[in-house]
Amino acid sequence: MLQASPRVALFVTCLVDLHRPTVGFAAIRLLEQAGCQVEVPRAQTCCGQPAYNSGDRDTARDLALGILEAFGGYDYIVVPSGSCGGMLRHHLPTLFEDDPNLRARAEALAARTYELVSFLTDVMGLERVAGAASGTVTYHDSCSGLRELGIKAQPRRLLEALGVTVKEMADPDVCCGFGGTFCVKYPEISTRMVSDKSADIAATGAETVLAGDLGCLLNIAGRLKREGSAVKVRHVAEVLAGMTGAVPPIGEAG
């Protein structure tokens, strides 16, 4: 079933593109190390979630059409985000309920779409990634990755295989309060949620908090830094790819 060297299209995600390109390069490195041929389709922008979750189906559908065009013909589409991955895998097809042809194309694309870390373990069968690391981290399960894509054990397994100690926080599966536009529509509630999260993180005593979604990470880092916390915040791909030297932790200067 598994080809020796599958052609993988990287869906960069708008936050990685805009905010933290290193995560994209970390994803490319991990995929190439796993034996994939990685390509980055130029004509990509956003998965459409901001529109989709605001009730604007027309815009979401237009963006989905662009995705169908740009990402046809690859063996897999890999996304360094559970949230955008969940959008492509579970929600994209629902935008074409009125058009069986497009719906079929969207379903075919959805079936080939994976979040980065679970792709490495579940599709490429990786037990470990190259390199070694040390230190103590705690892992926040981002909501879509956990509940839409079943990502829970995979990142922890790869981290532990690298030599990292994972210390669990209380309620790692509870939302950090980011929620896309939620954090700007309901800032007080969002702030309270992320404060609870940062307290749970601090209580572990871990040096670093990791997650697989940049949205959560920006939110968590923003709160930790506001509180003056020394806990470092990184995308899990940076650690797995051994690229922590390439960029300072999120919210910190180089």
Partner 1 sequence: MLSTSPAFKENARKAINDAGLQKALARTKPQFHGKRAKAVAGLPEFERLRDIGRDIKNHTLAHLDFYLETWAANVERAGGQVHWCASADDARAAVLGICERVGARTVTKGKSMISEELGINEHLEQHGITPVETDLGEYILQLRHEPPSHIIGPAFHLNREDWEESFRRAHTDLPADRVFHERRDILTEARAKLRARFLAADVGITGANFLIAETGSSVIVTNEGNGDLTQTLPRVHIVLASLEKMVPTLEDATNMLRLLARSATGQDFSVYTTFSTGVRREGDLDGPEEYHVVLLDNGRSAMLGTEFQDMLRCIRCAACMNHCPVYNVVGGHAYGSVYPGPMGAVLTPTLIGVDQAGNLPNASTFCGRCESVCPVKIPLPKMMRHWREREFERHLTPATVRTNLALWGFVARRPGLYRLVTRIGAGALGWLGRRRGRLSRLPFAGGWTAGRDLPAPEGDTFFARYAREQRGKGGRA
User: In the range 82-141, which residues lie near partner 1 by CB under 8 A?
Assistant: none
Whole-angstrom Cα distance, residue 210 to residue 51? 27
Stretch that binds partner 1, among 20-28, 100-108, 113-121, 205-213 (CB under 8 A): 20-28
Cβ 145 to partner 1, closest distance in Å? 10
Cβ(35)–Cβ(56) below 8 Å: no
- Contact residue for partner 1 among 42, 127, 134, 245 (CB under 8 A): 42
* DSSP E strands, the chain: 7-10, 37-39, 76-79, 113-115, 136-139, 165-166, 208-211, 232-235
Whole-angstrom Cα distance, residue 68 to residue 2? 23
Cβ proximity to partner 1: between 113 and 144 the closer is 144
Give, in degrees to the nearest 5, the angle at Cα 239 between 190 and 178: 10
Cβ 109 to partner 1, closest distance in Å? 17
Whole-angstrom Cα distance, residue 83 to residue 212? 9
Q: Nearest to residue 235, comparing CAs of 78, 116, 124?
A: 116
- Contact residue for partner 1 among 161, 162, 174, 202 (CB under 8 A): 174
Whole-angstrom Cα distance, residue 137 to residue 222? 18
Cβ proximity to partner 1: between 114 and 178 the closer is 178
- Contact residue for partner 1 among 35, 66, 103, 107 (CB under 8 A): 66
- Contact residue for partner 1 among 81, 118, 144, 154 (CB under 8 A): 144
- Contact residue for partner 1 among 99, 160, 168, 252 (CB under 8 A): 252
Interface residues for partner 1 in 202-231 (CB under 8 A)? Answer: 218-219, 221-223, 225-226
Q: Is 67 in the site for partner 1 (CB under 8 A)?
A: no
Q: Is 244 in the site for partner 1 (CB under 8 A)?
A: no
How, if at all, do strands 7-10 and 76-79 pair? parallel
Q: Is 81 in the site for partner 1 (CB under 8 A)?
A: no
- Contact residue for partner 1 among 5, 56, 99, 104 (CB under 8 A): 56
**Beta carbons within 10 angstroms of residue 19's beta carbon:** 15
